Structure 1
């Protein structure tokens, strides 16, 4: 190879730079040292720019070391490159040291330092630097104005943005596309859509894909999806091709803007394969409930990042697809993708679902520990919720106590968790702790507190907290809060007060409110109010079997068999199907489901033998079946037989014959547990020496030693 000199190398540096060959530039720079060729200011600046572009901090520092030895560190454009390198490598302190040590600074120096501060999130400091630059008499360039306007955008400083707008016009940049686009973004971020639209109108000659995308995003953020869709169409008509960011932005407007329409455009342009666009598209399909389409989009993303994996996991979670979520998480692990806090919190939330097995939640708790994310606030809050919903309130509380920091979700999850498990006093203790710390509360906080009062019969306490929420905290009660108050009054037998509350609500009661009222009318056998509640519920949800079944049960309990028959006939005429009572139990990582009088299980004979054994022991304890809970006009003996074969009893019998003596059992039921089963399970917990947790449609019941955590109030 012929002897190379500086001129030859500069030509090579220039060629590499023009072709974006950053690695070759750095390799060539260090090769120069080996060949004894001294770099000049140009080669130093180029090498630093390459290190900045690649985020190569170590190599950038090596170039800096050579620069100090060479004595070229005083050159302004070299110092500017050095500042830029440290800023891009997230070492803003080093960048500031270079800036402060410069003997002479030009406008590029100030711009580079401001841009570095902005890119590292130091917006207030960048703003101070702008004012310092002006104070030292440095005239801002077009780049200075763009950076300063970007600072306004991030700080949402509308006053300064308007001042800069005036300066831009005064300094002759009033028609500059970059400056106007930056101003447009600033006005949008400051929620000044009127000014943004006026500016956009004036930008007729300088509009580009960035300005169109910014305004589309502004409309979407302000809830004007229709205008966003119109502007998107105008953009295409004007000959501007949307880029990946445009597509990602317009897709956030789903379901108002159909993802199917946008998807057609993406297929033509191949943008659907981009991670950002593909993720936005699958998220849009998730919003419209098409998980299959979301999954197909996910498969087509060429380089799936953690955001794409998390989005797909969220899609499965939203659909309640436990199996799909877990399979996806395992596939992610096989691909070597490390889960982040959002991925882990999503999969843990999936494990809180009714169909998820208990051990699955524990498995992903272990995963969060493995990846050192268990202390992350969103993960630990998800763990609290998961354990509370899976019946392990003790584990939920342990995690709550260990949290180094807590957000409102943590506090609310713990309050509602204790409430659902019947530990009203513990829930109220958590709330009082929040009060003592002066923490912010919301309607979810008070919903949990009132629920705690509801499940423990504390009517006056519940009323006090309701008034505290409205009068002291200025929180408007939601429909859910009103429904909980109706439940509070209803469970305590104060049905007239419940009806008075419904009539005084600031909005029309929804199906949830009427369903709750109807349920408590069933418990207290109030035919008159039950008919009113059922009539309103049927109007709102004519295909909901609960209205017909509960009213039918009220009539049956009152001995009004003719009215009951009419309701059943109405169900048949309207083809309304009664929801079957189902109970689940997990044994050895397998979930077993039962319906009343079920004989389909492979161990059915053994299950019924165990039930007969229990029946004899119950009689010894003085148990007498309460046949009032069989709402059919049948012989007494037949009623007793039906009670003995309720789905939760079958699940418990299976658990007793399939697990070691003394081990706890956990049952999930989709309907409310009946009073007779409640009595039986209390006795079984004593007879068999087992702790039994039953999660029904309303709450958790912890049976131990012949008693229940609900105190027989549910």
Structure 2
């Protein structure tokens, strides 16, 4: 884009007054055809002639720059104002400039315009406040809010939404309550922030209260608001209430349908999710991805891949989340063939994957047994500034038993200036655990808070328990368990139960199982592991007691599955499977193999005795 040199002293006759001169017409033509960059480039000639565009045209252009996040073009428009003698734009144009800079992520530019404004109005303050909120700058937003000479419902709504989206839920609720108490009125946007809090906190009581307020206020007919209330109930696991509200909605858009489909999938009711999906009058990539992701998360990788194939047949363009979910599905069923096909699809369509998709590719290749391919993708990735990428590669190395290489990868990550996050320490301690690198694992655990200011959570402690337990360091394990800053949850007790089974530590195993059964009485994990401990030690009467307790509480053991891929099709099996369509042929071959093994064993015995 050409640079704008300072114009000669402007001639008043050249300035735009009543009718635009002929020089402006080409610019207006470009602008009307949507060629924003070309239109802005043509400003140089107007600037040299000292011709300033009309305020309405400038405002329209600034709006387009804001909408398309075209900061470079927006700055040229601002420069055009300065070079045509308007160094201090009026309030109308200044407000548009603030909006443009804020939408383009340039807080300094927006603030500079705001600070130089001579006649700020309420809209100016709200505009700047909204800019801070969009950029997640809560402290500057709060400071500006406190300095405002007057505030309206927009000001309060902005703060509620800003706090909610930034995770300051208590402040969001406090501002919302103050807004309601002020009696200055409210609108549908007043509920947007507090509904975000409902969704994030998963507070059923709060969701019901807000639902009641929305209903009384008459905003339940607003699609976005009603969909948010549905989502609030979904996040609380109240699928019955969310479905009733959904059914009562007179108008439903794709967002509303997708919210409920995603909810059913989230809580494992894939049958209801699929039924609702099939009834959708319209579907978008998000809808397809919600169901695909649900299948992948609920251990139904084959279904996820079948749905993806159907999506491609329908010519629906997948997005980043779709590819990520499909790759996770491939990893879950260890289908390297399908994984390669999806990878090829990414390449063939010139799709530019984000870091999540790249990490999913590495994870897929690793879990399908092709660590070398995963490492190659990691090495070929240009930008390695995201810890997610490193976490995935460290985890992949650990899964394949390369603990020392995982440790080296962590060290390389730190050397390259990538800051480890919570997940990084989970995967590195886990890598040390499975490779017997006890001291290294303890060192990494201790530096979580001392070096990086991250407070270890339950998952970190579960990894530490697993690390110490696998190495048989039970004294240290108990010491760390007793010093935990919070009460151990099911993840910690699960880890303790697992290592107790490995070492046959009945006392610790029993304690862990009792705690786990108390926390999750319907989960089969504790019962099964405790039964395994007793069985390994030959205490069959205790095994029988555990099984009796499971039957009494109607606890069902999760069915273990095995997969095998043949001719591009993944076959799933369970123990004593009677549902597979080829069960007759399979069992026939198994009987033949068993018979052959018996014959071979008999021949071996005869040869040994002769």
TM-score between both structures, scaled by the size of structure 1: 0.66
Cα drift, residue 491 of structure 1: 3.4
Are residue 115 (structure 1) and residue 99 (structure 2) matched?
yes
User: CA shift at 1:379, angstroms?
Assistant: 0.9
- Kept in 2, the 8 Å contact 1:306–1:339? The answer is yes
Which position in structure 2 is the counterpart of 1:233? 212
- 1:364 maps to 2:316: no
Counterpart Cα distance in 1 of 2:286 and 2:437: 46
Change (3 A) 1:60 1:141: farther
2:302–2:570 contact (8 Å) kept in structure 1: no
Measured after TM superposition, the shift of residue 580 of structure 1 is: 6.9
Does structure 1 retain, via aligned residues, the 8 Å contact 2:327–2:364? Answer: yes
CA-CA distance at 1:43 after TM superposition: 13
* 1:283-333 Cα deviation digits (max 9, x unpaired): 344444444444455455555333333333333333333233223322332
CA deviation vs aligned residue, 1:229-274 (integer Å, no higher than 9, x gap)? 424422332344542232343344233384544554554544322x
In the TM superposition, what is the alpha-carbon distance from 1:403 to its structure 2 partner? 1.9
Q: Is the aligned partner of 1:256 residue 2:223?
A: no
Query: Aligned to 2:177, which of 187, 197, 200?
Result: 197
Could you tell me which residue of structure 2 aligns to residue 485 of structure 1?
A: 464
- The change in CA–CA distance for 1:434 and 1:609 in structure 2 (over 3 A counts) is farther
* Aligned residue runs from structure 1 range 399-414, under 5 A: 399-406=377-384, 407-414=386-393
Q: Is residue 603 of structure 1 aligned with residue 589 of structure 2?
A: yes
Deviations 1:561-592 (CA, angstroms, capped at 9, x unpaired): 66566666666666666677754332322345
Is contact 1:217–1:228 with CA below 8 Å preserved after alignment?
Answer: no
In 2, are the aligned partners of 1:400 and 1:414 still within 8 Å (CA)? yes
Shift of 1:382: 0.9
CA distance in 2, matches of 1:597, 1:160: 63
Shift of the alpha carbon at 1:404? Answer: 1.7
Aligned to 1:428: 407
What corresponds to 1:318 in structure 2? 297
| Aligned equivalents of 2:513, 2:336: Cα separation in 1 | 36
Larger radius of gyration: 1
Q: Counterpart of 2:108? A: 124
Residue 359 of structure 1, CA deviation: 1.6
Q: Is the 8 A contact 1:271 1:278 kept in 2?
A: no
Q: Write out aligned runs for 1:44-443 (5 A).
A: 56-57=34-35, 61=39, 74-85=53-64, 87-88=66-67, 90=70, 91-103=73-85, 105-134=89-118, 139-155=119-135, 156=137, 158=139, 163=144, 167-169=148-150, 191=168, 192-193=171-172, 194-204=174-184, 206-217=185-196, 226-227=205-206, 229-254=208-233, 255-256=235-236, 258=238, 260-261=240-241, 263-273=243-253, 275-299=254-278, 301-353=280-332, 355-373=333-351, 376-406=354-384, 407-443=386-422
Q: What runs of 5+ residues in structure 2 fail to find an aligned partner?
A: 1-17, 578-582
Q: Distance in 1 between matches of 2:257 and 2:279?
A: 8
Task: Give me the whole-angstrom Cα distance separating, in 2, the residues matched to 1:227 and 1:361.
Answer: 43
Could you give the per-residue CA deviations for residues 402-451 of structure 1, whole angstroms, max 9, x where no partner exists? Answer: 22223222222222222222111111111222333353224432332333
Does the residue aligned with 1:586 lie in a helix, a strand or coil? strand
What's the CA shift for 1:162? Answer: 5.3
Q: Quote the Cα distance in structure 1 between the aligned partners of 2:413 and 2:24.
A: 56
Distance in 2 (CA, whole Å) between partners of 1:59 and 1:516 is: 59
> Equivalent residues in 2 for 1:661-700 (5 A)?
none
Alpha-carbon contact 2:165-2:196 (below 8 Å) kept: no
* Residue 449 (structure 1) aligns with: 428
- Closer, same or farther: CA 244–594 of 1 in aligned 2, 3 Å: closer
SS state of the match for residue 383, structure 2?
coil
Superposition pairs of residues 558-569 of structure 1, within 5 angstroms: 558=537
Distance in 2 separating the partners of 1:236 and 1:43 = 56
How has the CA–CA distance of structure 1 residues 261 and 530 changed in structure 2, closer, same or farther, with 3 Å as cutoff? closer
2:350 & 2:218 partners in 1: Cα distance? 50
Q: In 1, Cα distance between the equivalents of 2:244 and 2:358?
A: 41
CA drift of 1:341 comes to 1.8
Distance 1:518 1:396 in 2: 33
Shift of 1:514: 4.8
Contact 2:288 2:311 in 1 (8 A): yes
Distance 1:108 1:391, change over 3 A: same
Equivalent residue of 1:352, what SS?
Answer: helix
- The question of whether the paired residues in 2 share the 8 Å contact of 1:357 and 1:591 is answered with yes
Cα distance between partner residues in 1 of 2:490 and 2:164: 40
Change (3 A) 1:50 1:251: farther
Aligned twin of 1:463? 442
RMSD: 4.6
How far does residue 597 in structure 1 lie from its aligned partner after superposition?
Answer: 8.8
Name the SS of the counterpart of 2:564 in structure 1.
strand
Change (3 A) 1:50 1:207: farther
**Given the superposition, is the C-alpha separation of residues 200 and 100 from structure 1 closer, same or farther in structure 2, using an over 3 Å criterion?**
farther
Q: Shift of the alpha carbon at 1:336?
A: 2.7
**CA–CA separation in structure 2 for the residues paired with 1:168 and 1:209:** 25
Q: Given the superposition, is the C-alpha separation of residues 72 and 515 from structure 1 closer, same or farther in structure 2, using an over 3 Å criterion?
A: closer
Contact 1:79 1:98 in 2 (8 A): no
> More deviation in 237-246 or 251-260?
251-260
Judging changes above 3 Å, is the alpha-carbon distance between structure 1 residues 429 and 374 closer, same or farther for their aligned structure 2 residues?
Answer: farther
User: Contact 2:164 / 2:194 at 8 angstroms: preserved in 1?
Assistant: yes
- Equivalent pair of 1:86/1:95 in contact (CA under 8 Å): no
Equivalent residues of 1:48, 1:63 under 8 A apart: no
In the alignment, the residues of structure 2 paired with residue 305 and residue 390 of structure 1 have an alpha-carbon distance, to the nearest angstrom, of 30
Q: Is residue 161–residue 186 contact of structure 1 (8 Å, CA) maintained in 2? A: no
Check whether the contact 1:263–1:272 (CA below 8 A) recurs between aligned residues: no
Q: Matches of 1:61 and 1:100 in 2, distance apart? A: 18
Alpha-carbon offset, residue 380 of structure 1? 0.9
The CA distance in 1 between the partners of 2:522 and 2:305, in whole Å, is: 33
Cα offset, 1:608, TM superposition = 3.8
Structure 1 236/80 Cα, relative in aligned 2: closer, same or farther at 3 Å?
A: same
SS at match of 2:232: coil
Q: After alignment, is 143-152 or 563-572 more displaced? A: 563-572
